[in-house]
Amino acid sequence: MFATKLLAWVVCCITLKVLLVGDELHKTTQMAQLLEEMKQRSQGQNGFAWGALLFAALQQWQFWAVTGVLILFFGLCWWLRKRRHEARHSSEEESYSIDTDQVEEEEDDNDGDDANHLGRLLEEHIQWPVQNLDKECQAVKDLVDAFIFFFRDLLSNSFFPELQPAIGVGSAFEGWNPCEKDITYHLLVPLKPPRGHAFHLELSHEGTGPARIFYVRVEQVCTCADEQLAENTLCFLHHPKEELRRNQEPSLLHTLCTGSYLDVHKTARWFHQLVKAAWAVSTLSSQYRLTLLPSNRSFRIEVTKNNTERLNIEMMFGVQEGCSDIFLSSQSTADIFTSSTMWSESYAVAEVEFFRYVAESALANSCYLKCLQVCACIMEGNTFFTSALKTVMMHFLTDLPVSGWCTKDLLLWLWDIMRYLCLCLEHKRLDHFFFANGNVPKGIILPLALRIGEPLNIFQHLAQDPDAHAEALCEFMELQDRLMRLLFQATERRLQAQSCVCGALG
């Protein structure tokens, strides 16, 4: 049973390659069929899922030659296992008085257990992060909030942006950080305009990609009518410039802006210099060793405690869109910026809220985070497909019951994810999760433009650029190869472990 299901999964991975180069796909029927299969598995009909998976594979004649090689491979594995089994029992009969029937019964039970838990192969092979993510994330957030509290007091009489409590974003704070040696904890630090200033967000039509681009225009506002502020603040609009220069700190327009717009590079440099100057007098310096890392659009540090515990932290700066969970971020994920005054629309905070919402209704043995981890490990270094992966998962988690993501079906879910990505690539369409999507949980607050606007196709550039589409297909096939190699390595590791056990008993 174990070998049969494993062979079926690998054969279907080969079929996925055929789908990538085939021209017989029909988007509506195939995607509907895929979702129907997934829904039935979510309702506990696992036999149907494996049968449908095998049936989809058997419809493709191109994989038969490779299938023959795979059958020979698994036949060899079976033969070697049988030889070890016979040798072990022969040795046991000579040296020990062991109940052979009992041993065989235990082995059959183990095989049945493996057949129901194929996902353990990947779990045993992949070196998952040993860190307690919840604990580490909270420690990082406490440290950054201590930074911000100290700086807010230091800057209370200035006209620099007001720093708000940091918001943890990214995979670590979502609970599925991929297997990396050094985890980087990402946080977004919201900026609010200082007194006497206002931020106005202006949508730009420059650049390409799924994220919209904005400018943050800084405007001086009258403070004369505010009696509380009038005692300590001169109005930038109605006091002579000479008096302002003598008696008041410079306006934000004259420090971190280029023209009338908030400058990303200047903001990052300001924060970098602020930390560097303030660290020496901070009480935190007695507990941590701080290493500042270069970055033009964010603030990156390495914090070491007791010369052993090391944390890599990256802080982005953000400007909130109204009262929503969408921010304009200083950080860029693609080469789309031509000016330091451009800020990209970030959905990272909304994504964290989404995964927090899903976790509230997920079962203890849900494997959706494990699926994200496995795929993220395979896609390491490819930000385009990692972003697409998260989008696919968010669509799945709202279209399908969360209760259906059982650990024993890990490989099936991985197959479905890769197959769905394959279909999206073939048809050059994957809808952004937060644009015109009625399935977004109500607790996530979106700007009106996203809620009532048109759907946004993340793969639009693939439809416009045939060369980019061909390159993406090649990259996806390489990712599929990585997953197959990972599975083979996990299988080999399992066989080696069995061999060691047999040798020890012999």
- DSSP category for residue 235: -
Residues with Cβ within 8 Å of 271's Cβ and at least 6 positions away in sequence, in order, are 299, 315, 317
Mean pLDDT value across residues 437-454: 93
Longest dimension (CA), the chain: 104
Q: 210 is written with which tokens?
A: 């799924």
According to DSSP, the residues that pair with 213 across neighbouring strands are 204, 344
122 or 387: which leads in pLDDT: 387
Residue 216, pLDDT > 70, answer yes
Higher pLDDT, 117 or 484: 484
Residues 237, 238, 242, 248, CA torsion sign: negative
Give residue 160's pLDDT. 93
Q: What pLDDT was estimated at residue 40?
A: 66
Q: Is 271 exposed, middle or buried (0-12, 13-18, 19+ CB in 10 A)?
A: buried
pLDDT of residue 60: 46
- What CA–CA distances, in Å, run from 308 to 70, 143, 216, 304? 46, 17, 41, 7
Separation between Cα atoms, residue 170 and residue 182, nearest integer Å: 15
Average the pLDDT over 450-473 and give the result.
91
Q: Which two tokens stand for residue 148?
A: 């911000």
Higher pLDDT, 248 or 314: 314
Q: What is the value of pTM for the model shown?
A: 0.80
pLDDT at residue number 320: 97
Instruction: Tell me the β-bridge partners of 258.
Output: 261
pLDDT for 361? 86
Sign of the CA dihedral running 266, 269, 271, 274: negative
Q: How far is CA 170 from CA 88, 135, 334, in A?
A: 50, 16, 16
Q: What pLDDT shows up at residue 100?
A: 44
Domain boundaries, the chain: 2-116+362-505, 133-344
For residue 318, pLDDT beyond 90: yes
Number of Cβ within 10 Å of residue 404's Cβ equals: 20
The mean predicted confidence, pLDDT, of the chain is 76
- The structure tokens listed for 248 are 């008041």
Whole-angstrom distance, CA of residue 335 vs CA of residue 91: 65
Residue position matching structure tokens 């609970």: 175
Q: Which numeric CATH code is attached to 133-344?
A: 3.30.460.90
Tell me the two tokens of residue 3. 């070998």
Return the structure tokens found at 412.
Answer: 């099936």
Give the span between the Cα atoms of 232 and 335, in whole angstroms.
Answer: 44
Closest CA to 120 of 4, 6, 15: 6
Give the percent of the chain with pLDDT over 90.
30
Residue 114 binned pLDDT confidence (cut-offs 50, 70, 90): very low
The pLDDT tens digits for 197-209 are 999 999 987 655 6
Instruction: Tell me what pLDDT residue 370 has.
Output: 86
pLDDT digits (tens, 9 = 90+) for 387-398: 899 999 999 999
Using alpha carbons, list the distances in angstroms from residue 330 to 297, 433, 456.
Answer: 6, 21, 22
Which residue did the predictor score with more confidence, 12 or 288?
A: 288
